[in-house]
């Protein structure tokens, strides 16, 4: 039998590529099909939570928006986890303002919609028990996985990850809807350049070579783009600046001009970190340092507040806007369900006593945010009663 040493360099490369893909496939299969929490015989259950109603009241047209290109798509803040915990509980009037929203239409029209809130208990603003703070770095071995195999990229849940023309990532949460970070389209004061003609990219199937085999050259991977019809951004993000508590509302929903044909993820209310299987979160996005690759990662959740989840997942710019998800057992439907429970906001610099630190932060989908985003998708509150 011909040894690997005696084979041509091209054939050796193909051999090692195949071996690496096989190892990756086995590892990811083990990660994604795990049905129980390590060390436990109990199924991780989706908690049953009451869902309030966020109901649109009045919509009015605003002046034409300004489109500016920020220096970089990231959030800067002087408020860390403890600062967020000490923040005063928002009043009913505050919540109505924060959850009112702007809608940017592809025609350039900008509207603002006021909302009212029903069935929300203010006592729900309880910050989960704190954990060790998670500083954002890639420690030693980079734990990210580049998903380049044809069988993975076009299969759920990886197929639900999409790329935005502004350079961020997003997640399919409806037949025409994509969930992403607000700062990917708005810097807190102005819409970013390209927001009016925003497009969403879907990774296409890999090309075949002359022998009919999948081409593993990531540089040749292509996107199919669909234009965005409407972009919803909560007023809690648009407060004149994005450097304070506004990061709690760093989420946006995009409505596509036409339906896609891929399976989308369900939306879910974020459980506390201790309720997550293995206390882990996971998400996939298009990190800038790996062009043409979809990058998957998982890690333990760290510190958390009512609105934010701090974690240790390795990530680079471009992954912002990715849907953070978990897989747990639905008792009522008696089946496993994977749901988006947060939006990866990305790299947030926090000035802690003159010592800047960088964190990986995700915006948790709270009951109020779930009610709002679900209404944007469904157009009614009747179909938004289960989170």
- Is 183 an active-site residue? yes
DSSP 195-221: STT-EEEEEPPPPB-TTSPBP--GGG-
66 has catalytic annotation: no
Of 84, 183, 232, 293, the active-site residue reads 183
Q: Which of 159, 284, 320, 322 is an active site residue?
A: 320
Q: Is 91 a catalytic residue?
A: no
Helices of type H across the chain: 9-33, 81-86, 92-99, 150-153, 367-378
CB 49 within 8 A of CB 369: no
- Pull the structure tokens for residue 311: 């974690």
Cα 11 to Cα 6: distance, rounded to the nearest angstrom: 10
Neighbouring C-alpha atoms within 13 Å toward the C-beta of 350: 22
Range 274-280, long-range pairs (CB < 8 A, 24+ positions): 274/128, 274/129, 275/44, 275/47, 276/44, 276/301, 276/326, 276/328, 277/34, 277/36, 277/37, 277/44, 277/326, 277/327, 277/328, 278/37, 278/38, 280/326
Handedness of CA 128, 133, 135, 140 (dihedral sign): negative
Rounded distance between C-alpha atoms, residue 286 and residue 277, angstroms: 25
Q: Report the C-alpha gap between 252 and 304 in whole angstroms.
A: 21
> What is the Cα–Cα distance from 107 to 109, expressed in whole angstroms?
6
Catalytic residue numbers read: 183, 244, 320
């Amino acid at each position: 039998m011909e040894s690997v040493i005696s084979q041509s360099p091209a054939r050796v490369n193909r051999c090692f590529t195949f071996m690496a893909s096989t190892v990756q496939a086995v590892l990811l299969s083990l990660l994604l099909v795990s049905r129980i929490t390590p060390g436990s015989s109990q199924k991780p259950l989706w908690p049953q939570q009451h869902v309030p109603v966020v109901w649109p009241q009045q919509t009015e047209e605003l002046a034409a928006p300004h489109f500016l290109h920020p220096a970089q798509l990231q959030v800067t803040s002087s408020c860390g986890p403890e600062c967020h915990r000490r923040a005063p509980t928002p009043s009913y009037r505050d919540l109505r303002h924060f959850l009112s929203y702007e809608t940017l239409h592809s025609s350039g029209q900008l509207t603002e919609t006021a909302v009212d809130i029903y069935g929300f208990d203010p006592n729900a603003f309880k910050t989960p028990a704190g954990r060790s703070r998670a500083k954002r770095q890639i420690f030693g071995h980079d734990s990210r996985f580049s998903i380049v195999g044809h069988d993975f990229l076009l299969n759920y849940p990886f197929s639900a990850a999409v790329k935005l023309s502004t350079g961020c990532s997003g997640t399919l949460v409806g037949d025409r809807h994509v969930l992403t970070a607000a700062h990917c389209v708005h810097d807190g004061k102005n819409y970013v350049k390209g927001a009016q003609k925003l497009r969403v990219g879907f990774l296409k199937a890999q090309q075949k070579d002359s022998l009919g085999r999948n081409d593993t050259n990531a540089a040749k991977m292509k996107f199919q783009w669909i234009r965005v019809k409407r972009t919803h951004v909560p007023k809690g993000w648009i407060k004149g600046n994005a450097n304070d508590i506004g990061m709690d509302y760093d989420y946006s929903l995009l409505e596509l001009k036409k339906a896609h044909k891929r399976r989308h993820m369900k939306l879910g209310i974020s459980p506390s970190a201790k309720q997550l299987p293995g206390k882990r979160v996971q998400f996939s996005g298009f990190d800038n340092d790996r062009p043409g690759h979809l990058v998957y990662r998982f890690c333990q959740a760290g510190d958390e507040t009512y609105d934010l989840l701090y974690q240790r997942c390795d990530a680079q710019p471009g992954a912002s806007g990715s849907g953070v998800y978990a897989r747990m057992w639905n008792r009522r439907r008696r089946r496993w369900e994977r749901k988006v429970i947060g939006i990866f906001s990305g790299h947030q610099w926090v000035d802690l006593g003159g010592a800047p630190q960088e964190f990986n932060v995700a915006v948790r989908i709270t009951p109020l945010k779930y009610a709002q985003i679900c209404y944007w998708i469904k157009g009614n509150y009747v179909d938004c009663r289960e989170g």
